[in-house]
């Protein structure tokens, strides 16, 4: 079923902006025009594509059409670039990507710096746990993702990036107060989790002691703030090695079970689509990962796999 380019552009704007009014402002049309275009698409598809919530969300059918819309718009922009008809103001393509917070804080942003301006890319980064980024790929919300899932999402290609190593650490004062260097006492000590889906600390404990955490839990949902909370003695936590190496070397942090790092294998999944823009983004991500992540084959067995 064919969809007009204006209709595809309207659907992507509606999903990205979240409301009919905001999409109308972006497209410089009226809200009723946005609504009419969406109804026309739904009539052509024979299914409801968006839920009229605040913000607007897509249905299962809408996910498929959104993915199609973004692919068509991406390829259309690249054809115009090859023909030399890109607009004077840049004719930018929005590139939504899903990235886990620790990768964003330690290597991912640098990997995509200084992208050639003639590619016309503007990035929309979705911060999501590496175990859940593939859900955004399936929904069509993003074009590519850093993930811990090696199985390719339908319509995507997958390649290994490397291993992100973590260390379980705490401040010296915290270690003294709670006996945190004693594996028998660590499960009862206060712990810092990223959010309520973060089970990395619990998995480390189970790998070390066979028991999960029973202590008070702090939630700090930002990678740099999480590491700072551990440094300030809120609790112990599992911190990317790149964020805690200097503090370990200076004695501002203490390693818990230093012979048991936690290592998470990361993959890059992207639309299986020939696109100079996605190809260049992939190349940059691949090179950035090679420079900052540990190579495959050097990692210790991941507690995530031991407990799966």
Task: State residue 79's pLDDT score.
Answer: 82
Q: Which two tokens stand for residue 18?
A: 């979240």
pLDDT of residue 117: 79
pLDDT of 296: 78
Per-residue pLDDT reduced to its tens digit, 240-272: 999 999 999 999 999 999 999 999 999 999 999
pLDDT at 86: 60
Q: What is the pLDDT of residue 140?
A: 85
pTM: predicted TM-score of the whole model, two decimal places: 0.81
Residues of the chain with confidence (pLDDT) below 70: 1, 85-91, 297-308
pLDDT of the residue at 91: 63
Residue 87's pLDDT is 54
pLDDT at 308 (0 to 100) = 31
Nearest to 178 by CA among 259, 226, 233, 228: 233
For tokens 């999903």, what's the residue?
15
**Helical ranges in 84-185 per DSSP H:** 101-103, 109-111, 133-139, 172-178
């Amino acid at each position: 079923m064919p969809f007009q380019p204006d209709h595809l552009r309207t659907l992507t704007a509606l999903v990205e902006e979240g409301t009919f009014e905001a999409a109308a402002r972006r497209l410089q049309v009226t809200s009723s025009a946005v609504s009419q275009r969406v109804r026309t698409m739904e009539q052509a598809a024979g299914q409801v594509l968006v839920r009229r919530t605040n913000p607007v969300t897509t249905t299962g059918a809408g996910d498929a059409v959104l993915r199609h819309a973004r692919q068509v718009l991406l390829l259309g922009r690249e054809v115009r670039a090859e023909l030399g008809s890109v607009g004077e103001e840049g004719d930018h393509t929005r590139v939504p990507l899903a990235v886990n917070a620790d990768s964003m804080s330690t290597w991912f942003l640098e990997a995509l710096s200084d992208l050639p301006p003639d590619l016309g890319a503007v990035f929309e980064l979705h911060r999501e746990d590496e175990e859940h980024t593939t859900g955004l790929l399936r929904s069509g919300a993003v074009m590519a993702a850093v993930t811990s899932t090696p199985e390719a999402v339908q319509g995507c290609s997958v390649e290994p990036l490397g291993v992100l190593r973590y260390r379980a650490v705490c401040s010296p004062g915290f270690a003294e107060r709670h006996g945190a260097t004693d594996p028998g006492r660590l499960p009862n000590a206060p712990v810092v989790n990223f959010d309520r889906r973060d089970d990395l600390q619990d998995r480390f404990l189970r790998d070390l002691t066979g028991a999960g955490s029973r202590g008070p839990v702090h939630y700090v949902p930002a990678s740099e703030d999480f590491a700072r909370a551990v440094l300030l003695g809120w609790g112990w936590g599992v911190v990317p090695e790149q964020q805690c190496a200097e503090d370990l070397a200076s004695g501002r942090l203490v390693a818990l079970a230093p012979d048991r790092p936690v290592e998470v294998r990361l993959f890059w999944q992207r639309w299986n689509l020939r696109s100079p823009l996605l190809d260049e983004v992939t190349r940059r991500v691949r090179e950035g990962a090679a420079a900052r992540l540990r190579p495959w084959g050097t990692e210790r067995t991941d507690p995530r796999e031991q407990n799966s």
